[in-house]
Chains A and B, each alone.
Chain A
């Protein structure tokens, strides 16, 4: 069995790549899949703290590539979840410590043991980006509804397609429903119109993301979080289910709409 290798990328920094990687990975493992998260941001590792696994790192990605340790030794098992592992980035090296061929081999080796290999790509379009996409067979582009992030996403989509990663999927992060309704934030249709790629998910802006990141626990495991619910939908879509997107511009109140969409409007038992 060969697993899927998915790179999570964006171009611009700070749009939620690492949070998205952590949540999708956790969501897939909650659905019974074996998952390894790979932090490809060498020199600026972050996925470990977002996952709350920062105290358990012994070896890292560069150690594996350089043959300092075996691949299995560098994988950190997340004890909270059935089959979730992290391969942390090196913090003291820079992105030139590995090359695309080595990353491709690493991804292939991991895909032989896991259902999903999720690569957290660094910001930018230089060596780190080229390394991260080298072994991937699918790409997720994360953006926020801001001109700078959308512009960078467009550039990334072009670069992904030029590297043979066809049909990247879009996640629109940090949508603020109230601003969309006022006409002060681009809506989903605007962004699909501009970027012309398939939509994988829309994540509402949610304070619980900050809270869960403070704790090192992905928000997807928090039942009452809207962002968590949106990520659960993303995971189901990734697994091939057909889940409708939320309509942000109807006259229904936002919470009513979300409640309806997620089936939370049932009376408490």
Chain B
């Protein structure tokens, strides 16, 4: 039973609903188009590449919500996950 449940989990309709919602909300939330996010991504790569070698394929950037610490209110947040391959020698810049 448990195994069956586990096996079925990835295809349950509520998981599909959740994934679809998450994607649609990213764009609803800040009125941000996928192209706009791609632009930010390109700029980030440009800036960070001066200091470190990054995995451009693995770079993820998304809009989400987070609770602000000072007053606990919910604010939009831009989250970037940038895998670093190697730090560059600052002397060579």
User: Interface of A with B (CB < 8 Å)?
Assistant: 145-147, 150-151, 154-155, 157-158, 161, 166-167, 180, 182-187, 190, 193-197
Residue of B nearest to A194 (CB): B21
Taking CB atoms and an 8 Å cut-off, the chain B residues in 1-38 that contact chain A are 5, 8-9, 12-15, 17-18, 20-22, 24-25, 28-29
A190 to B22, CA, bound (A): 10
Residues in B whose Cβ lies below 8 Å from that of A157 = 74
B contacts with A: majority SS: helix
Judge whether B72 and A167 touch: CB under 8 Å: yes
Residues in A whose Cβ lies below 8 Å from that of B21 = 147, 150-151, 194
Judge whether A184 and B13 touch: CB under 8 Å: yes
Tell me how many residues of B have a C-beta within 8 Å of chain A.
24
A182 to B67, CA, bound (A): 31
A contacts with B: majority SS: helix
B92 at the interface (CB under 8 A from A): no
A154 to B20, CA, bound (A): 14
Residues in B whose Cβ lies below 8 Å from that of A193 = 18
Complex partner residue of B73 from A166, A183, A190, CB under 8 angstroms: A166
Complex partner residue of A155 from B18, B28, B72, CB under 8 angstroms: B28
Judge whether A183 and B8 touch: CB under 8 Å: yes
Complex partner residue of B14 from A161, A166, A167, A187, CB under 8 angstroms: A187
